[in-house]
Structures are given as C-alpha cells and as structure tokens.
Amino acid sequence: MNGRALYVDPALYSRVFPPDAGEAAFFTALLKAVPPGAAVLDAGCGTASLAAMLPLQVVGLDRCRELLRAAPAPVQTVEADLTALPFRKGTLGGAFSRLFGYGYALGEVPGWAAAIAEELGRVLRPGAPVALEVPLAHRPSRLQGIEERAVLPGGLAYRFRYLDVLEETAFGTVLATRIEVRDPAGEEWHLAAPLHVYTPEGARAWLAHAGITEVRFHAPYDLASGTAEPPEDCLRAVAVGVHQRKSVRIMLPAQRAIT
C-alpha cells in the first residue's frame, strides 16, 4: 500500500478525480457574475485540470507541488496554503473548488476551517460569486461506519469509509476517513485523514464567517437542483453564495474532542 501517493502522484490523481465538461459548465454558469479579466481562485486546485476548462482568469492554488507541476500551461498556479493566501485584500473576483471540503484542509487541524474562511473573506471583492463543494449531512455523526464503493474508469476499485467521530465543531463534525484505490493489476493506494462534514446550518455559518451570504446548495453538478435547504440524504453539495462588503464574524465555541 502506498500512503499519501493518492494526493501527490498526478497520474493516479487524474484517474481518481477526472474532471468533465459538465462540471466545467456548472462552475462557469455559477461564476458568470465575475467581471471580465478579474482573477478567480480555484481553492485547492490539485492538477488544475478543471481550472483549465473554465473560460475565466483562474489562479489555481494548492499546497502540493507535485500536483501543480502537472497543471496545463495556460493556468496560472501558486503553491500556497489555504490558511495563508498570497493575495491582497479584496483583489479576487470569485472563488470555486470542486471537492473542496474533501481536500481535508477544513478538518486536518482544529481551527483551520475558521482560518480558511477568514482568509477567503479577506481576499474576495464585494459581490464576488463563490461556489465551493463541501461534504454535507444533516447529522454527520451518523455517517460513522458507512462506506461507499465504486468502479472508476480503467477498472480502478474505489472504496471510501467514514470511521470514528473525532470532534464536534461550530460547523459540523470531524470524522476519520480512509480512501482505498486498487487497480486491476492489484496495486493499491490509500489515504487516511480527518474529514470535516458540515451540517447545512454549519456550512452557512462557515460561509458567513467568510462574509459569504445568499447561500444556496446544489447537488453536484446540477444547476437545476439549487435549493436553500438540501435534502436529508445530500452528502455532497456545492455551496453557492456572494461575498459581501462586511464579513459576519461569528463567535466560535471551543471545539469539543470526542473521547
């Protein structure tokens, strides 16, 4: 078993997370209010292959140098951490990310979710549209023990498991998770990491912390599904909103570790 290779090896990553034209059209439509020429952040862009399909001035940001090296030439990329964005206040015309909350940035370290919201709120212009995919569940702790399996193109067997509940936060629940991928030749990779699953009200509070309001949720990547209240069984959702002039800072209660 290879450990972190899944989020480091661009060839493997592209097989597990291939972008498609439907996703590109979805984000393009949600970002149509971006003023011409304004920079749009792809927050945790991976190999930036989705960013390359958007007719926008995208800046792909990721902390993984190996994935960024595989980015298509026209996409501008920057190696940085979402907790310390290398942009000036109010300079970005929009932000998006496919599989954003699944990048683990929001659950890896206690307090990171709030720090990332504050950074996004700082760098976005007033009126900037935002479309970020987050894991969403009305009762996240009930996911414990659930697993998802799929066979991906090329015969890759994919298995995702929700394990122990690690902590309750102001926005939802952090669970231990594990991804396993096996190719037809029997080679296997895995990634074990904490995942921050949001409640709908938690996602709203997190976005409000970034100054993002007028929030609605879409089941990915379906423009027709936009709703203020996601259905009970909506696990993956793209949260869509607009950055306001003023951030709505919420008082964050201390995180509660589950023992």
Ligand X SMILES: C[S@@+](CC[C@H](N)C(=O)[O-])C[C@H]1O[C@@H](n2cnc3c(N)ncnc32)[C@H](O)[C@@H]1O
Binding site for ligand X (CB under 6 A): 7, 17, 44-46, 50, 62-64, 67, 81-83, 97-99, 102-105
Nearer of residues 212 and 244 to ligand X, judged by Cβ: 212
Task: From 232, 252, 249, 241, select the one nearest 169 (Cα to Cα).
Answer: 252
Nearer of residues 12 and 64 to ligand X, judged by Cβ: 64
Nearer of residues 135 and 241 to ligand X, judged by Cβ: 135
Task: State in angstroms the smallest separation of the CB of 171 from ligand X.
Answer: 16
Nearer of residues 193 and 248 to ligand X, judged by Cβ: 193
CB-CB contact of 128 with 214 (8 Å): no
Task: State in angstroms the smallest separation of the CB of 51 from ligand X.
Answer: 8
- CA-to-CA distance for 209 and 243, rounded, in angstroms? 11
Task: State in angstroms the smallest separation of the CB of 229 from ligand X.
Answer: 26
CB-CB contact of 58 with 93 (8 Å): no
Task: State in angstroms the smallest separation of the CB of 65 from ligand X.
Answer: 10
- CA-to-CA distance for 197 and 199, rounded, in angstroms? 7
Task: State in angstroms the smallest separation of the CB of 101 from ligand X.
Answer: 9
Task: State in angstroms the smallest separation of the CB of 177 from ligand X.
Answer: 12
Nearer of residues 53 and 244 to ligand X, judged by Cβ: 53
Task: From 95, 65, 98, select the one nearest 79 (Cα to Cα).
Answer: 65
- 219 is written with which tokens? 């089941």
Q: For residue 121, what are the contacts with CB-CB under 8 A and spacing of at least 6?
A: 209, 210, 211, 212, 243, 247
Report strand pairing: 76-79 vs 188-198.
Answer: unpaired
- CA-to-CA distance for 51 and 28, rounded, in angstroms? 10
Cα angle: 118, vertex 79, 109; to 5 degrees: 45
Alpha helices in 102-255 (DSSP H): 112-123, 200-209
Nearer of residues 101 and 202 to ligand X, judged by Cβ: 101
Task: State in angstroms the smallest separation of the CB of 246 from ligand X.
Answer: 26
User: What 8-state DSSP symbol labels residue 250?
Assistant: P
- CA-to-CA distance for 138 and 133, rounded, in angstroms? 16
Nearer of residues 57 and 213 to ligand X, judged by Cβ: 57
